[in-house]
Amino acid sequence: MSTVVQGLREALVLFVIAVAAITVAVGVWVAVSGGDFVHRVGVAFMLVGAVIGMTGDLTLSRIGMLPARSTFGLAPEREDGGGGRVLTGVGIFLFVSVPLIVVGILLIT
């Protein structure tokens, strides 16, 4: 199986997990406080898409370790292992975050 197909499959799985989690969370939110489900789902899609876009490649967690690693003369961490992931941060942004934000905009309008 090619890397492209694996990356697209991973993006689809991440997108479906995000949609399921958002739908459940907003469902609970509407059940507790009432309100318009579709509008809140749209806003939640945009917020989750933005958060995933900013934190999808673990860059923010690695930035916090730079001073400690440089104190001991170590180079910055690299993404050698990958943890079985195929998508990079750019792939997660393009194939997961952007579709979430677009769907959120379409639901709000």
Q: Which residue has the tokens 């989690």?
A: 21
* Mean pLDDT comparison of 18-22, 33-37, 60-64, 66-70, highest-scoring range: 18-22
Closest listed residue to residue 79, CA positions, set 97, 91, 94:
91
Closest listed residue to residue 51, CA positions, set 91, 96, 1:
96
Give 19 or 61, the one with higher predicted confidence. Answer: 19
For 6-51, write each residue's pLDDT tens digit.
Answer: 989 999 999 999 999 999 999 999 999 988 999 999 999 999 999 9
